Amino acid sequence: DIQMTQSPSSLSASVGDRVTISCRASQAISKYLNWYQQRPGKAPKLLIYGASTLQTGVPSRFSGNASGTEFTLTINSLQAEDFATYYCQESYSSPLYTFGQGTKLEIK
Amino acid sequence: EVQLVETGGGVMRPGGSVRLSCAASGFIFEHYGMTWVRQVPGKGLEWVSGINWNGDNRRYRDSVKGRFTISRDNAKNSLYLQMNSLKDEDTAFYFCARVAAGSWRELDYWGQGNLVTVSS
Residue-wise pLDDT for A43-68, tens only, equals 999 999 999 999 999 999 999 999 99
Res. A20: pLDDT tops 90: yes
Residue A103 sits at the chain B interface (C-beta within 8 Å): no
Res. A106: pLDDT tops 90: yes
Res. B93: pLDDT tops 90: yes
Query: Is the Cβ pair B107, A89 closer than 8 Å?
Result: yes
Residue B5 sits at the chain A interface (C-beta within 8 Å): no
Residue B116: strand pairing partners: B10, B92
Q: Which residues in chain B (59-98) have CB-CB distances under 8 A to chain A?
A: 59, 61, 95, 97
Residue B29 sits at the chain A interface (C-beta within 8 Å): no
Report which residue type is found at A16.
Answer: G
Question: What percentage of chain B's residues is helix, strand, coil (to nearest 5)?
Answer: 10, 50, 40
End-to-end Cα, chain B, rounded Å: 40
Q: Cβ(B112)–Cβ(B86) under 8 Å?
A: no
What pLDDT does B1 receive?
96
pLDDT in tens, B28-85: 999 999 999 999 999 999 999 999 999 999 999 999 999 999 999 999 999 999 999 9
What pLDDT does B17 receive?
97
Residue A98 sits at the chain B interface (C-beta within 8 Å): yes
Closest CA to B37 of B4, B2, B66: B4
Asked if the peptide bond before residue A59 counts as cis, ω within 30 degrees of 0, the response is no
The radius of gyration of chain A's CA atoms, rounded to the nearest angstrom, is 13
Res. B102: pLDDT tops 90: no
Give A46's DSSP letter: E
